Amino acid sequence: MHPSLDLLEKYNVPVPRYTSYPTVPFWDEHIAVNEWQQVLQQQFTACNSTTGISLYLHLPFCEKLCTYCGCNKKITNNHSVEEEYMQAILKEWQLYLQVFKHKPVIRELHIGGGTPTFFSPENLGRLLDGIFAQATIHPLHEFSFEGHPNNTTLQHLQTLYNKGFRRVSFGVQDHDARVQQVINRIQPFENVARATAMARAVGYTSVNFDLIYGLPLQTTESMATTIAQTLTLQPDRIAFYSYAHVPWTSRGQRLFDEHDLPSTSVKMQLYQMGKTLFTAHGYNDIGMDHFALPGDDLFIARNQGRLHRNFMGYTTQHTGLLLGLGVSSISDAGIAFAQNEKKLQDYYTAIDHNRLPVVKGYFLTEEDVVFRKQILDISCNSTTILPHDYLGLLRDWVIPALLPLEKDGLIVLADDALTVTKMGENFIRNICSAFDLHLQRKTGVTNTNQYSKAI
């Protein structure tokens, strides 16, 4: 069910993507490292022998600046940087092994960036060998990586496949040559098709494409062509992201003319058209921005109520501990978050001094844990049970925010249960924000310089 443009306009406000709760702007600028280590050790002990742990490796290097990108990255053509960075990650891993005191069981691993395929296949293999040498691989592990279609080689795919990887996510963004030119991401469709075919030939069982709507020079016609080309390759998953224009934090976004951005009305049409075409061709709407074919694990997990959401996006795994290695990486220990140094040199300095490179973070209160569960339930299952022990907070903050959503037909409230309607599935971020007590208490409205708009 598609909402009207008026309804899309009404809810097209700055709002978090809720890969965490509380969201990063509410974290403390300096975390107590000793306390973080204690929480980390407790959570590791609780989950390692049952679910295992998740790892995220952040590889920040790119050869070119894509001007739309809001990721933490380092632009260079000097590939000698690979060695120093790998050694830093492996040393950071050693520091965490000293905290854990037991051999980790790795259930989930994702390599992101930056451009992970900036690294040579040989170096990626050596990096993973260094990680795996002092860990056990869970028999039901899920390993994935982000690949650039221009530089992902057969050797990259084969090397990572041999290490247990079965899912690859290609950063496609848009197939239109004019759009690629303005965002400095020149990537012919033939390269995407070749990389996809190679992945499947090697044996990858899930191929994801990242597409973005709202980029400069995009039109409904150009997006229709991009989607039609994408559908010919039948990726197992599609992430259809709204372009987040945040030039105050991503300086590269200042390099193109903002007048080239689609109007709000056109951007909403792009979103509606994309969702219509994906669902018409057999893709299922998983949640925020994500679509999957019926045979994909993400769709199966959603149907079975096993879907989880963290800093890696939607995942079929919920290990209880996500450990981030590398510059700017974020770790999630269930009741605490910690983020590494964002500047590469600061990260190296911490590692050189045998210090965990965490700097920013947050320790969740009992209230945070409860309302985090509400947000996860809504974003992963489209339903939640309102917490009876927090009736005062529900009455003062949550219910007043939910009533307009109910009036607009986005949710149904009955017997303390909230269910997202088909219409409401277009506004998951807005619905989650009703349970964001930090955001509501701070201003009553979202700070426009902290979050991208919902559509």
Predicted local distance difference test score (pLDDT) of residue 311: 85
What is the rounded CA–CA span in Å between residue 455 and residue 11?
8
Q: For residue 449, what pLDDT band results from cuts at 50, 70 and 90?
A: low
Answer left, alpha or beta for residue 416, where phi above 0 means left and psi between -120 and 50 means alpha. Answer: left
332 forms beta bridges with: 322, 337
> What is residue 177's three-state secondary structure?
helix
* 257-295 pLDDT per residue, tens: 778 899 888 998 999 999 999 999 999 999 888 999 999
**Does the annotation list 448 as a binding residue?**
no
Q: Is 171 annotated as a binding residue?
A: no
pLDDT in tens, 208-259: 999 999 999 999 999 999 999 999 999 999 999 999 866 656 565 656 677 8
The strand pairing partners of 213, in sequence order, are 242
Tell me the C-alpha distance between 2 and 402, whole Å.
20
Query: How large a percentage of the chain has pLDDT more than 70?
Result: 95
Cα–chain center distance at 343: 20
Contacts of 260 by beta carbon, 8 Å cutoff, 6+ apart: 182, 216, 217
Lowest mean pLDDT among 73-82, 339-348, 437-446: 437-446
> Is 108 one of the annotated binding-site residues?
no
- Say whether 66 counts as a known binding-site residue: yes
Question: pLDDT value at position 444?
Answer: 47
Neighbours of 450 (CB within 10 A): 19
pLDDT digits (tens, 9 = 90+) for 353-405: 999 999 999 999 999 999 999 999 999 999 999 999 999 999 999 999 999 99
Does 286 carry a binding-site annotation?
Answer: no
Check the annotation: does 68 bind a ligand.
yes
Cβ–Cβ under 8 Å, residues 207 and 235: yes
Output the average pLDDT for the chain.
93
Rounded mean pLDDT, 94-100: 97
203 marked as part of a ligand binding site: no
Please check if 244 is assigned to a binding site. Answer: yes
| CATH 3.80.30.20 residue window(s) in the chain | 5-332
Between 444 and 347, the higher pLDDT residue: 347
Residue extent(s) of CATH 1.10.10.920 domains in the chain = 365-442
pLDDT exceeds 50 at position 446: no
In DSSP terms, 420 is beta-bridged to 411
% of the chain with per-residue pLDDT over 90: 82
How far apart CA 294 and CA 173 sit, in angstroms, is 23
Residue 4 — pLDDT band, cuts 50, 70, 90? confident
From the number of C-beta atoms within 10 Å of its C-beta (0-12, 13-18, 19+), residue 56 rates as buried
**In whole angstroms, what is the distance from residue 67 CA to residue 333 CA?**
33
Q: What is the model's pLDDT at position 1?
A: 66
Q: How confident is the model at residue 438, as a pLDDT?
A: 95
Q: Closest Cα to residue 341, out of 363, 355, 360?
A: 360
Integer angstrom CA distances of residue 6 from 9, 408, 410:
5, 11, 14
Q: Is 336 annotated as a binding residue?
A: no
Is pLDDT at 103 greater than 80 in this prediction?
yes
- 3-state SS, residue 124: helix
Q: Is residue 298's pLDDT more than 80?
A: yes
Specify the residue for token string 């854990």.
100
C-alpha span between 420 and 379 (Å, rounded)? 10
| Lookup: tokens for 405 | 């959503």
Length of the chain: 455
Q: Is 380 annotated as a binding residue?
A: no
Please give the average per-residue pLDDT across 320-333, as a whole number: 96
Q: Does domain 5-332 have CATH number 3.30.465.10?
A: no
Is 97 a residue whose pLDDT tops 90?
yes
- Pairing relationship of beta strands 237-242 and 206-213 according to DSSP bridges: parallel
Report whether 193 belongs to an annotated binding site.
no
pLDDT tier for residue 448 given thresholds of 50, 70 and 90: very low
Contacts of 228 (CB under 8 A, 6+ apart): 277
Using an 8 Å Cβ cutoff, are 24 and 339 in contact?
yes
CATH architecture of 365-442: Orthogonal Bundle (1.10)
- Mean pLDDT throughout 165-171? 97
Q: Residue 447: pLDDT band by 50, 70, 90 thresholds?
A: very low
Residue 205 backbone dihedrals phi, psi, to 5 degrees: -95, -10
Exposure class string for 65-101: b at 16+ Cβ within 10 A, else e = ebbbbbebbbeeeeeebbeebbebbbbbbebbeeebe
Single pTM value for the model: 0.93
The residues, any chain, with a CB within 8 Å of residue 24's CB and separated by 6 or more, are 339, 360
Residue 445 has pLDDT above 80, yes or no: no
Please check the confidence at residue 87 and state whether its pLDDT lies above 60: yes
Lowest mean pLDDT among 141-150, 313-322, 343-352, 430-439: 313-322
